[in-house]
Structure 1
Amino acid sequence: MIDTTGAAPPATEPALFRWRWAALAVILLGEIMDMLDSLVTTIAAPTIRADLGGSAATIQWLAAGYTLAMAIGLLTGGRLGDLYGRKRMFLIGAAGFTIGSLLCGTAVSPGMLIGARLLQGLAGAMMIPQGLGMMRRMFPPKELTKAFGAFGPVMGLSSVAGPVLAGWLIDADFFGTGWRMIFLINLPLGLGAVVLGAVFLPPGREDGHGSRLDLVGALLAALGAALIVYPLVQGRELDWPAWMFVLMAASGVVFLLFARHELRRQRRGADPLITPSVFAKRGFSGGLVVGVVFFAGMTGFALTYSLYLQLGLGFSPLKAGLSQIPWSAGTVLGFPVAMAMQKRGRMALQLGALVMASGVAGLVLTLQVAGTGVGPWQLAPSLVVVGFGMGLLMAPFFEIVLASVEPHETGSAGGTLSAVQQLGSALGAAVLGTVFFGLLGGHVATSSDQDAPALRASLAAVGVAPSGQERITAGLRACGHDRSTAKDQAKNPETCVRLESDVRAEAAAHPRSAGRIAAIVRSSALHSAKTGFGAAMKITLWIVVGLLGLTFLIAFLLPPRARPEDEAEPAEETAPATA
C-alpha cells in the first residue's frame, strides 16, 4: 500500500524503488514470451502438422486458440491483479505459461497441443496486464516515460526474432526435438520470470479494488467469442452443416445477454467486467471495430503468407522466417516516423492503413509477375512497405482510441481494447485461413487443367500412349485437388494412390523411360501445386487489402487526435509513488 498522508513510508518502499529497473526487466521478459509465442506457430504449423497429423483446421487453431484464450482472459486478468495482488498474479501467470509451454513441447496429438496453446493464452492474459499497474507504482513521473519507451524496441525486436527463431530451432533440430524446441525454449525464460519476479517485483495490492470478480460476465464473454470462432475454423472441414450457422447466430444472442448483464450489474452498484458507459463514446466504439478489422487482416495475412511460403513455394522453416525480416524491419522503421507525426493523430493511423494496403497490393503484383519462381528478394520491397504502414498505424492506435474515454473508465476500456485486439486476431486466423484453404483445392485443379496439354506432350515424347496420358493427366488433377483439401495430411488420398499405380504401370511398360516418366509427373504436379497456391494467395491478399481499406474508412469514427490533457494523466496517477 502506498502512503499518501505525508508520513514516513514503510520500510519496504526504498527497496521497491531501488529495484524498479530490475522489475521492469522481469515485466519485459513476460512480454517477450507472449510476443514470441504469438508468432512462432505461423512458421512452425506446417512442420507440426506433418509430424502430429491433423487437418487445415489444426493449423488455424494453433494461432486462433492462443489469441482467443488471450482475448477471454484479458477481460479478467487486470481485475484479478486488483483483487489478489499484481505480483501474485504475474507469478501465477508466468508459471502457468511455463507449464503450458512444457505441455506444448511434449504434445503427442493435435488436440493436446491445441489444449496446451489455450492454457498458454489464458496464463499470458493473467501475466501481461499486471505490468502496467506495477510500473505506475514503481516509477516516478519523470522516469515513467523512459520505462514505457522500453516496450517499443523490445516488441519490435521480438517481432523480428519470433519467425527467425522458430525457423532456426526447427531446422537445427536440437537433440532431435524439431518443432518442439520452439516451446521448450520457454522453460528457462519462464522459470527466470518466476524466480526473478519473486525477488524484484513490488508486493502489495492497490487501494480501492475490493469488488468481487464478475464471473458470470466473464463466462458469457468467453461463450460468445467461442461460438463465433469455432464455426469459422471448423465449418469448412465439416462441410458447413446448418448447426454451424446456428452457433454463429447464438453468439450474437450471448453477447446481447452479456451487455444486459453488465448494465444490471452496474445499476446494482457492483463493478461490471466492462464499464458500459465506454460504449456510448463513438470514438471508443469505432476504435473497437477498427481493432477487430485491422488485427483480423494483419493476423490472417501473417498466417496465410507463412503457409504460402512453406507449403506453396517449398521454403524451409528457416528460410520462411528469414523471408519475413523485411516486414518486421519495416515495422520498426515505421514506429519513430509515427511518433514524429504524433500531432497528426488519426491522419497518421489512416496513412498507415493506406501504406500497408499498397504494400499488400505490391505483393499481389510481385506474385503475378514472378510466378512460381518468386524468391525472398523479390518479395522484400513490398514487405518493407507493409511493415512500415503497420508501424504508422499501430503507434498511435491505442492512444487515439482511448482519447475519448474518461479517466475513471481507462482501466476497463484499456482491457477491453486489448481483448478485442486478440479477438480480432483469432477471427483473422479463422476467417482468412478458411478462405485460403477453401480456395486451394479448386485452384490447384484449375492449374492442372492448364498444364494438361504440356503434360500430355511430354508424356508422348517418351512413348506413353494416349490412353496412358489421359489416365495420368486426370489422376494428377484429382490427386492435386484431394491432397490440398485433405482433412488428414498423414493419409495419402485414394486418388494419389491410383496415380502412383498408373505411373508405375507406364514405367514398367517403358523401362528405358521409367525415370523420365516419373520426373515429368513430379514436375507437373509441383508446378500445378505452386500455381494453385499462388492463385489462392493472391485472392487472400486482395481480401487483406479490402480489410485495410475498411480500416481506413472506419477510422473516421475516431477523434482527430488524443486529448492534450491526457499527457498529464500519468504524472497525476503516479505522483503518490514518488520516492
Structure 2
Amino acid sequence: MTDTYRWRWPALAALLLAEAMNLFDSTVMPIAAPAVRASLPMSDTALQWLTNGYTLPFGLLLIAGGRLGDVLGRRRVFVIGMLVFVLCSVLCAWAPHVSVLLAARAVQGASAALIIPQTFGLIRAMFAGNEVAKALGTIGPVMALSALCGPILGGLLTEAFGWQSVFLVNVPLGLAVLAAAPLILEDRAAGRPQLGGLLRGRVFPASLAGSLLFFAVMNGLVFVLVLFLQLREGRTPAGAALTLLPWSVGLAIGSWVTGSVLVPRFGPRVMRAGLVLVLVGLAGIALSFTSVPLLVTGIGLGMFTVPFFGNALSVAAPDETGWASGLLNAVQQLGATVGVALLSAVFFRFGTTAAVVTSMVLISAVLALTVVMIRGTAGSEGVRPGGSAS
C-alpha cells in the first residue's frame, strides 16, 4: 500500500464508473421492461426475471468474486469481469429471443460480482492514511446519483433510441474502464484467505448486521418515497427523481465533508453523529415531506457510509479484504432487497408515515449496534494480526 501512487485518482475514477454501471443495470430494467416486452414477447414471470436474473447471480456470487480477487489478483479479476460485462451488454442488445436475453442478463450479473468486490481492496492498495477515507467517501455520492439518475437516463434512452440502448450504453463506458485499467495498481492476498477469523470477532459481525439494517432503510425508503410521489402525488418518474434530489445532494455533501474533514479528526465515531442526523431527518419527513428534512437525511446517510466500510474492513487482514468486501456487498444487497419488501409492504398497508417510522426503528437499532461496531469501544476488538487501521 502506498500514499504516493501517481495514478491513484484516475484509477479511482475507473472504479467508480464501474460501480455506477452496475447500479444502472440493476435499476434500469423496470423502466425499459415494457418496451422490451413489446419487442420480445414474454410471460409475466420472464418479465420479472429481466431484473431478478441480474441481481440474483450478482448477490449470490459476490463472496466468490471477492475470494477470486484475493487469490488471482484484484485488478485481473476486475478486468475479466468488466470484459465479460461489456460482451454480455452487446449480447443483451442483440438478443433475438427472450431466452437469450435472460441468459445474457444472468451472466452479466455474475460478471458484476467479479467487479464490485474488488473496489475496496484496490482502494486500500492505492491509498493510505487520510486519503483512504476520502477515496471511500466518493462511493456514496456516486451510488446515490447513479440510483437517482439511472431510471431517468434509462427512460430517456428507451424513448429516444429503443430499449437496446440501455445495454449498448455500457459499451463505451466499459471500454473506458478497460482503457484505464492499467492505471489501477494490482493487488492480491499474500497468503491463503482465512474465512473464520473475522466472523469470530465482534466488529465485523456487528457491521454485517448494521449493514443489513442500514441499507434496508437507505434503499427501501427511497423506493417507498418514489411510490408515494408517483402513485399518491401523480408525479412522473423524472419529477419524482427531482423531488428527491435534496436527498442525493445531502448524501454527496455529507460524504465529502466526512471523508475530508470529520473522519481524519474524529474517526469512526462520526457514524453515530450521522445516524442521529438521519433520525432527525426522518422525523422531519414524517412531519413534513419537504426539501429540508430530505437534505438532512442525506447528509446523515453520507456521514455514516464513509467511515462505515473503512471501520468494518479495518479489522481484516490484507489476505481477507476480498472476501470480506464481497460479504459486505452481499449483505448490502440483501438489506436493499429486504428493505424494499418490508417498507413497501408497510407503505401499502399503513401509509408513508408508518414506513418512515419503521425506518426510524431500524436506524435506532443500527445506532445501538455501534457500541460493538466501532473499534475501541466496549465490546469491540482491536486490529487482528495483519489487519490495518482505519
- Report the TM-score when normalising by structure 1: 0.55
Question: C-alpha distance in 2, partners of 1:433/1:57?
Answer: 22
2:112 counterpart of 1:127:
no
Say if 1:561 and 1:183 are closer, same or farther in 2 by CA, change over 3 A: farther
Match of residue 159 from structure 1 = 144
- Is 1:285 the equivalent of 2:200? no
Match of 2:287 in 1: 365
| Greater mean deviation of Cα atoms: 147-156 or 69-78 | 147-156
Give the superposition deviation at 1:121. Answer: 3.1
Find the structure with the greater CA-based Rg: 1
The CA deviation at 1:413 is 3.3
Residue identity in the other structure for 1:163 = L
The one-letter code matched in structure 2 to 1:546 is: V
Alpha-carbon distance change, 169 to 36 in structure 1, aligned in 2, over 3 angstroms: closer
Residue 169 of structure 1: how far off its partner (Å): 4.6
1:155 Cα offset (Å): 4.7
How far apart are residue 289 of structure 1 and its match?
Answer: 0.9
* Displacement of 1:315: 1.8
Change over 3 Å in CA distance of 1:287–1:323 after alignment to 2? same
Judging changes above 3 Å, is the alpha-carbon distance between structure 1 residues 361 and 161 closer, same or farther for their aligned structure 2 residues?
Answer: same
User: 1:494-535, CA deviations, whole angstroms, 9 ceiling, x for partnerless residues?
Assistant: xxxxxxxxxxxxxxxxxxxxxxxxxxxxxxxxxxxxxxxxx5
Q: Is 1:379 the counterpart of 2:301 in the alignment?
A: no
Tell me, what secondary structure is at the counterpart of 2:351?
Answer: helix
Q: Secondary structure of 1:315's match?
A: coil
Q: Which residue of 1 aligns with 2:272?
A: 350
Q: Deviations over 1:221-247 (max 9, x none)?
A: xxxxxxxxxxxxxxxxxxxxxxxxxxx
Alignment match, 1:546: 361
CA shift for structure 1 position 277: 2.5
User: What CA distance in whole angstroms lies between the structure 1 residues aligned with 2:74 and 2:65?
Assistant: 10
Secondary structure of 1:314's partner? coil
**Alignment partner, residue 333 of structure 1:** 253
- Structure 1 distance, partners of 2:117, 2:313, is 16
Match of 1:69 among 40, 53, 57: 57
RMSD between superposed Cα atoms in Å = 4.0
Return closer, same or farther for 1:111/1:333 CA change in 2, 3 Å cut-off: farther
Structure 1 unmatched ranges of 5 or more: 3-16, 212-270, 367-377, 440-534, 573-579
Separation in 1, partners of 2:307, 2:127:
24
Distance in 2, matches of 1:312 and 1:65, equals 30
Distance 1:57 1:554 in 2: 40
CA contact (8 A) 1:164 1:322 kept: no
State the Cα distance separating 1:402 from its structure 2 match. Answer: 3.7
Q: Distance in 1 between matches of 2:246 and 2:272?
A: 22
183-192 vs 102-111, greater mean Cα deviation: 102-111
1:477-502 alpha-carbon deviations (Å, 9 max, x no partner):
xxxxxxxxxxxxxxxxxxxxxxxxxx
Of 296, 320, 339, the match for 2:240: 320
Letter in 2 for 1:78: G
Offset of 1:279 from its aligned partner? 1.9
Aligned pair partner of 1:193 in 177, 181, 194: 177
Identity among equivalent positions (%) equals: 31
Distance change (3 Å), C-alpha of 1:56 and 1:357: farther
CA 1:103–1:355 in structure 2 vs 1: closer, same or farther (change >3 Å)? Answer: farther
| Mapping of residues 215-294 of structure 1, within 5 Å | 275-294=195-214
Select which of 277, 293, 303 maps to 1:392.
Answer: 303
CA pair 113-302 structure 1, distance change in 2 beyond 3 A: farther
Shift of 1:293: 1.1
Instruction: In structure 2, give the amino acid aligned to 1:149.
Output: K
The aligned amino acid for 1:552 is L
Q: Which residue of 1 aligns with 2:329?
A: 418
Listed as ranges, the gaps of 5+ residues in structure 2 are none
| Pair 74,50 (structure 1): closer, same or farther in 2 beyond 3 Å | same
Letter in 2 for 1:77: G
**Any conservation in 2 of the 1:294–1:548 contact (CA below 8 Å)?**
yes
